[in-house]
Amino acid sequence: MSYEANYSEEDEELKALLAKKRAELERLLKSEEEERARAIQEEIARETILRSILTEEARERLARIKLARPDFARAIEDQLILLARSGRITEPITDEQLKEMLKRLTSGRRRGGEILFKRKGGV
């Protein structure tokens, strides 16, 4: 009988442990689902703001930039959203205005395509 009692106790402990692990797993899954839902909502909010502050042509240009340089496009979107939220954008940004902004943003990062050669010796 003592063997059966031990087996029963171990079985109950195993059931409790499994129930605890199952509850923990369910909590993690729920947390991940909530995080995904929150990320989707944030992306929808971003797209809504961008749609309201950019003309169709400017949105198309930004979409092409996003394909080639996603990080750069995200930084541009962040800047535009910040300007919109602070009230500094009063009318939709045209494609020409966006191109001008892009020129200003990239001018500090590049040297205009110049190649400089440094020669040894003073010649």
pLDDT of amino acid 76: 94
CA angle centred on 61, ends 56 and 67, rounded to 5°: 125
**Element holding 113 (H helix, E strand):** none
- Are 42 and 77 within 8 A, CB to CB? no
Would 32 be classed as within a structural domain? yes
Distance (Å, whole) CA 77 – CA 63: 10
92 lies in a domain?
yes
Could you give the CA distance from residue 65 to residue 72 in angstroms, rounded to a whole number? 8
CA-angle at 87, arms to 82 and 90, nearest 5°: 115
pLDDT along the chain (123 residues), means of 10: 61 91 93 93 95 96 96 95 94 96 80 67 62
- Is there a domain that residue 119 lies in? no
Number of domains present in the structure of the chain: 1
In a domain, 27, yes or no: yes
Q: Per the domain annotation, does 111 fall within a domain?
A: no
Residue 59 lies in a domain: yes
pTM tops 0.85: no
Q: Is residue 122 part of a domain?
A: no
d(CA 106, CA 103): 5
Residue 111: its pLDDT value, please? 54
Residue 113 covered by a domain: no
> 85: domain range?
2-104
| Res 1: pLDDT | 46
